[in-house]
Structure formats: C-alpha cells, structure tokens
Amino acid sequence: MISALLQALFVLLGLVVSYEDWKERKIRNRWILAGLGLCAAFLTFFLVNSALGYGGVRLASNYDEAVLLDIGHYYMPWGYYARLALHAALSFACAYALWRYSVWPAGDAKLFIVFALILPLVNPNLPGFPRMLFVVMLINIFVPAGLILSVETLVRLAARAPILARTDWRKEAHAWLDAARVRLIDHWPHRYNLLALSVNLFAFFTLFRFGQRWLLGAAAGPAGRLLVFSGLILVWSPVQRLLCNRILSACALCGLAAAALAAAFLRGVDVLAWIRLGVAMMFNFGMLLSVARVALGALAERQSLASVPADEVHAGMILAEPTWQVLRREPRLAQQLGASYCDGLTADEAQAVKSWLVLDGSRDKLAQCRFYRAVPFAAWIFLGCVLTLHCRSTIIHAAFPAARSLLRQARGAAPWWSL
C-alpha cells in the first residue's frame, strides 16, 4: 500500500517535471523541494515503522489492517538505513561530478538525486542497491537517450549526404591535422607535468589493483573500478594538481621500480603483465573521463546555431567555448559573466549579452561563434528511473533475452529466396 502510493507520487512528479522541462527548458526548485519533502515524509514513516516493529508494538487491530497500512507488520531492518545512506552519498557524488564536468546542468543533477532517493524507498530490493544502483540508473538513463540521439544524428547526416559528398575531405583532413598540431604546441611546455601525471596515475592504479578486494569487498572487479573512477572524477581538479608534481612522480617511479624488481626475483611475478594491467586501467579511466564529454560536445556541435540575433539570446542558452572567450575579453561583460557551466546563461547574464550586442554594435564579433541549444533531459532521467524500477536490471541485460530470441528466429527462418 505505502510503496504503491509512493510509486504513484513518483510517477506524478516525474511527469510534471518532464513536461515543464520540455516546455520551458527549466527544472524549478519547487519540484526538487517537493521531491525531497516526499522522501523525508516516507523515510520518517519507515523509521517509525521500524521502531514499532522492533519494539513489538502493533497499531493495527488485525492482520488485514496491518498489511494494508504496512504498520508494524512489515518493517525495514536498521541495516537498510545505513545502505540507504551509502546509496544517497554515492548518488550525490555522481550527480555532482556530472554537473561539475558539464555533462548535466544543476537542475538535472538535483533531479537525479531526488529520484535516486525515491527508488529504494519504493523497492528496497532493486539490483545493485546500495553500491551500484546509481550505475544501473545511469545506464538506463543514458543508453535510451544515446540510442535516440544517435538515430537523430544519423538522420541529420543522411539529410546532409549531398553536402557531405561535395566536401573536400583532403582539405578537412588538413584542418584537423592543423588543429592537432596547435593543441600539441599548446601542451608542449607542460610535457614534464603531463609525464609526471601519467607516472603517478600508473602508480595509483597499480596500488589499487593490489588492494581493491580489501578496499571494496564484494564490489571488486569492474564495478569496483567504476566506483573508484567515479570518485577520481569527482575530485579530479585538486587531485590532478597533486599528481602533476614532479617530485612525487620521481618517488613513485623509484618505488615502482623497486617493487617490480622485488616481485620479479622474490615472487616470480610477471612484471610485463603487471605493467599492461596498469596501463589498461589508465586507458579505461581516460576513456571514461573524456568519451562522454567528447560525444556530448559533438552532439551539441551538431545542434548548434552558427549565429544568433540579439533578440534570441535568452536565459538557459549555452555558450560554446570560443563565444565564451570572446565575451569574457569584453570589459563591459567580464564582470557580469559568472562561471561557465552547462546550466547556460542566467537571466542577468543573458540581458547583459543582449545589451552588449545591441548597444555596442558587436554582432560581427560573434558571427563565427556558437550558442548551443539546450536539450531537455528530465524526461530521460525519469524514463531511466522507471526502467530501473520495472526491469529490475539494466536495459542492456533486459534486452538480451529478446535479442537472443530474435536471433534464434532469424536463424530458423527460411531464406528469402526460397519464399
């Protein structure tokens, strides 16, 4: 009864927020507060119910009323609340990391936290709870969104096929090579810091491989590594500065060399395999850190506007990096523009940019710069949470039986030429 009521309120909240985000490109804080209030109310009920149940107190007069009201008949063990706190902390860390690295705006990150708190209250037996439930949710959120957006991108590419056929690809290749050369030149003065970063990361992941089972217990393996990668991403800015320290890098290199020699001669450890595993973890971490941002950036580039009239500048519009740099160099705007996040321009920032474009006659400066259209994502977050509740696994695992069935049917079907 209680779970069904909470699930109905969750669906209602998700539909309202998704519709408003789709229509107005904004998730209002009042819905976030309503969701947090909903969580607090039902969590309080569960805590009271657990206290009554452990104390042997029955408020219902008979078994049927107890089952109907969920009072004193079914109650959560105290360990459930510790697991819920761990899940809440992991979900918050994940949402903060996605906001900090401009994957989600603040509204989407807050909505993810609210829904992550609601799901284990609706069903405490969801897969991965408490350590990996947030990962299951992310897979169910991003996989359907990625598939649909990929199909949309392919349709757009197909529509542009005549233009692509006339493109001078040799010239495009030269442009890409020039861009790579410029990036290499920009990073060349920092080559020793980047080398120190690589050595320190390798040392960290090597130590982690030896201690992962002790640190993570049952979460060791791919799931445990994903947890560690997510934690590193969360604190990457201060950690990166530390890992670029050359003295720390020299100490780590000497320690690794000594450990490798001792392991090879005393224990017969395959040092080359040890190095390959460390490099593989570095590569996987780099892929996790960069692929999502690159993919989302490419998608945003596809959906961008080459130029925007002054009257179309509005709150929530996301500035591309070149545009941001142009605006930040303007004396009138430098003090009015805050930090660059994927939440887009605030109302005051949008008005300042609009005034600068109109009053200063500066439209030509933005002729080659880009503004990105914001993609409303609340509906995808809601859909992913619904899939997590009802599939009881990731959408990828849920699709395996259907895919195998279709494959068996395809293999057993008669060839088309025999029909």
Taking only the tens place, the pLDDT of each residue in 221-271 is: 555 566 666 666 656 666 777 888 889 889 988 988 888 888 888 877 787
3 state SS for the chain: CHHHHHHHHHHHHHHHHHHHHHHHCCCCHHHHHHHHHHHHHHHHHHHHHHHHHHHCCCCCCCHHHHHHHCCCCCCCCHHHHHHHHHHHHHHHHHHHHHHHCCCCCHHHHHHHHHHHHHHHHHCCCCCCCCCCHHHHHHHHHHHHHHHHHHHHHHHHHHHCHHHHHCCCHHHHHHHHHHHHHHHHHHHHHHHHHHHHHHHHHHHHHHHHHHHHHHHHHHHCCHHHHHHHHHHHHHCHHHHHHHHCCHHHHHHHHHHHHHHHHHHHHHCCCCHHHHHHHHHHHHHHHHHHHHHHHHHHHHHHHHCEECCCCHHHCCCCCEECHHHHHHHHCCHHHHCCCCCCCCCCCCHHHHHHHHHHHHHCCCHHHHCCCCEECCCCCHHHHHHHHHHHHHHCCCHHHHHHHHHHHHHHHHHHCCCHHHC
Least confident of 64-68, 208-212, 284-288: 64-68
pTM of the full predicted structure? 0.66
pLDDT confidence of 363, banded at 50, 70, 90?
Answer: low
Q: Which of 129-138, 139-148, 278-287 has the lowest mean pLDDT?
A: 278-287
| Mean pLDDT, range 184-200, rounded to an integer | 84
Across the range 293-312, mean pLDDT stands at 56
User: By percentage, how much of the chain surpasses pLDDT 70?
Assistant: 72
Lowest mean pLDDT among 28-32, 210-214, 341-345, 408-412: 210-214
pLDDT in tens, 26-74: 888 999 999 999 999 999 989 988 888 777 776 655 555 544 455 556 6
pLDDT, averaged across the chain: 77
Domain borders along the chain are: 304-372
Residue 86 or residue 333, greater confidence: 86
The whole-number pLDDT of residue 35 equals: 96
